[in-house]
Amino acid sequence: MLEGIPRRPPPFPSAPAYVMLLTMTKKSAKAPAKKPAAKAAPAAKAAPKAESSKVAKTQLVEMVADKTGLTKKQSEEAVSAMLDVVVSAIKGGQSVGLPGLGTLSVKATAARTGVKPGTSEKIQIPAGKKVAFKVASTLKGNL
């Protein structure tokens, strides 16, 4: 019945057989936990595929540095300044137009009645604001 499981000595000499069986079960349960850690290295190699679908800020900084001839430090400051200006304009309720990309704007949401999951209790959701993005027609046509 236990032919495939390697035998280990019991935790203490006079341990009953069930203690030995539990000890082996615990150790064998821990063994598969080490295998996902070994698989983590190939997952890290697969990460470049995931990165191709999203451009991070550091990658954006590198692209700006390559296109403009600025140093990475200067391009990082430029990208950060641009993002700060966009965020502050949005927080101020202004819309921000980015030619060839689209327009970021603030939209008001109306108060509404919602349903609480699990209890089906009706709750009142207050009015609020959200950020909306409208894609530029030139970009939409080129996709």
Residue 79 confidence (pLDDT): 94
Q: Which of 62, 94, 89, 92 is nearest to 78 (CA)?
A: 62
- Tell me the one-letter amino acid at 81: A
| 48 occurs within a structural domain | no
| 47 occurs within a structural domain | no
Residue 53 confidence (pLDDT): 87
pLDDT in tens, 3-33: 666 666 655 555 555 555 555 544 444 445 4
| 110 occurs within a structural domain | yes
| 118 occurs within a structural domain | yes
Domain residues for the domain of 26 are 1-41
| 133 occurs within a structural domain | yes
Instruction: Tell me how far apart the alpha carbons of residues 120 and 105 are, in angstroms, rounded to a whole number.
Output: 34
Find the CATH number of the domain harbouring 124. Answer: 4.10.520.10
| 46 occurs within a structural domain | no
Q: Could you give the number of structural domains in the chain?
A: 3
Residues 85, 64 share a domain: yes
